[in-house]
C-alpha cells in the first residue's frame, strides 16, 4: 500500500527520537525532548489526541497487540530502550515507547481503520459522511484519515463518538452510578463503553446529544438506529439546526 504524504512526513520526525541516549545526550536534554514531543504533538494532523499522552494511553490499551508489540503497558519499558547508552533513563524509554505506538498506527492501524484516540475514529468518520464513501469507497480507512488530516478537521467534521457533542466522560460517569462504580474516572474505559454499549442502550453521555430525544423530536428519523442517528447528526442534523439535546 502506498503511504500518504503526511505519513511519510511524520516518520522522519519519529526517527529523530530513536537515538535518544546518544553519547552526547544528558537526562536534561532527554526531558526537553519529551516536552517538545508532547507540546509539538507531531500527530496533530490526524488529531490522534487532545494531548499526545492520551494517544499513548488510548491506542495500546484498546488494541492488545499494540501493547504487546510495544512492550506492554504493565511491563518494564527498559526492553524498548536496549540501544540507549542509559537504559535506565525513564525519558528515553518513554520516547521509544511513544515512537513504537505512533509508528504502529501510521503503518498499520491507519489502514486497518483502528480507532486511535478519543478524538479520532476512522470508522465513525468514514461511515458518517456519504460524500466520503462516494469519493473514496466504503472501508477505505487510510483515505478517510488523510481526508480528515487534510481538510475534514478544518471543515469542522465530527470524527468520533467519544468527542463533543456526543460524549463527555465526566458527564457520562455522573449520569450513571453503575459506570462510575465500574470505571471510576477512566475516560478510555468510559469511551469504549459508550461506543460498544451505551449508545445502543440510549444512554446520555453529554448535555448536547441524546438518541432518544433526537428521534422523538423528528418523525423523519424514527426508522434510524441509534448509530445512524449519530451519523445523521454529524453530517446533516447540526447543519440543519436540529436539536439533539436531552
The string of pLDDT tens digits covering residues 124-155 is 999 999 999 999 999 999 999 889 888 998 89
pTM above 0.85, yes or no: no
**Element (DSSP H or E) covering residue 175:** helix 169-175
pLDDT of residue 79 exceeding 60, the answer is: no
pLDDT at residue 105, rounded to an integer: 82
Asked whether the predicted pLDDT for residue 157 surpasses 70, the reply is: yes
pLDDT at 228: 96
Does residue 35 or residue 93 have the better pLDDT? 93
- pLDDT at 17 > cutoff 60: no
The answer to whether the CB of 62 falls within 8 A of the CB of 188 is: yes
pLDDT at 67: 77
* % residues pLDDT > 90 (the chain): 46
The reported pLDDT for the residue numbered 18 is 38
Question: Sorting pLDDT into bands at 50, 70 and 90, what band is 110?
Answer: confident
Collapsed DSSP state (helix, strand, coil) of residue 54: helix
229 has pLDDT over 90: yes
The pLDDT score that the predictor gives to residue 215 is 97
Give yes or no for a contact between 37 and 17, defined as CB atoms under 8 angstroms apart: yes
pLDDT digits (tens, 9 = 90+) for 25-48: 333 323 223 333 343 344 454 555
- Cβ burial 176-211 (10 Å sphere, 16+ → b, else e): beebeeebeebbbbbbbbbbeebbeeebbbbebbbb
For the packed helices 90-104 and 5-15, what is the interaxial angle rounded to 10 degrees? 160
Q: How far apart are CA 73 and CA 208, in angstroms?
A: 34
* 81: pLDDT strictly greater than 70: no
Indicate the pLDDT class of residue 15, thresholds 50, 70 and 90: very low
What distance in Å separates the CA atoms of residue 129 and residue 152, rounded to the nearest whole number? 11
> Cell match 487532545: residue?
50
Residue 193 pLDDT greater than 90, yes or no: yes
Amino acid at each position: 500500500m502506498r503511504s500518504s504524504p503526511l505519513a511519510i512526513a511524520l516518520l522522519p520526525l519519529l526517527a529523530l527520537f530513536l537515538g535518544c541516549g546518544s553519547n552526547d545526550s544528558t537526562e536534561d536534554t532527554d526531558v526537553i525532548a519529551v516536552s517538545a514531543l508532547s507540546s509539538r504533538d507531531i500527530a496533530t494532523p490526524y488529531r490522534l489526541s487532545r494531548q499526545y499522552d492520551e494517544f499513548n494511553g488510548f491506542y495500546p490499551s484498546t488494541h492488545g497487540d499494540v501493547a504487546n508489540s510495544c512492550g506492554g503497558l504493565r511491563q518494564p519499558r527498559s526492553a524498548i530502550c536496549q540501544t540507549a547508552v542509559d537504559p535506565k533513563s525513564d525519558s528515553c524509554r518513554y520516547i521509544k515507547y511513544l515512537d513504537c505506538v505512533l509508528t504502529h498506527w501510521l503503518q498499520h492501524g491507519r489502514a486497518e481503520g483502528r480507532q486511535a484516540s478519543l478524538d479520532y475514529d476512522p470508522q465513525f468518520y468514514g461511515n458518517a459522511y456519504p460524500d466520503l464513501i462516494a469519493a473514496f469507497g466504503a472501508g477505505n480507512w487510510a483515505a478517510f484519515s488523510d481526508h480528515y488530516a487534510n481538510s475534514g478537521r478544518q471543515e469542522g467534521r465530527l470524527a468520533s463518538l467519544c468527542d463533543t457533542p456526543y460524549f463527555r466522560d465526566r458527564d457520562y460517569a455522573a449520569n450513571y452510578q453503575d459506570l462510575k462504580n465500574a470505571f471510576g474516572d477512566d475516560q478510555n474505559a468510559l469511551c469504549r463503553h459508550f461506543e460498544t454499549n451505551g449508545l445502543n442502550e440510549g444512554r446520555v453521555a453529554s448535555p448536547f446529544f441524546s438518541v432518544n430525544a433526537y428521534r422523538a423530536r423528528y418523525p423523519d428519523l424514527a426508522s434510524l438506529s441509534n448509530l445512524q442517528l449519530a451519523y445523521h447528526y454529524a453530517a446533516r442534523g447540526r447543519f440543519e439546526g436540529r436539536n439533539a439535546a436531552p
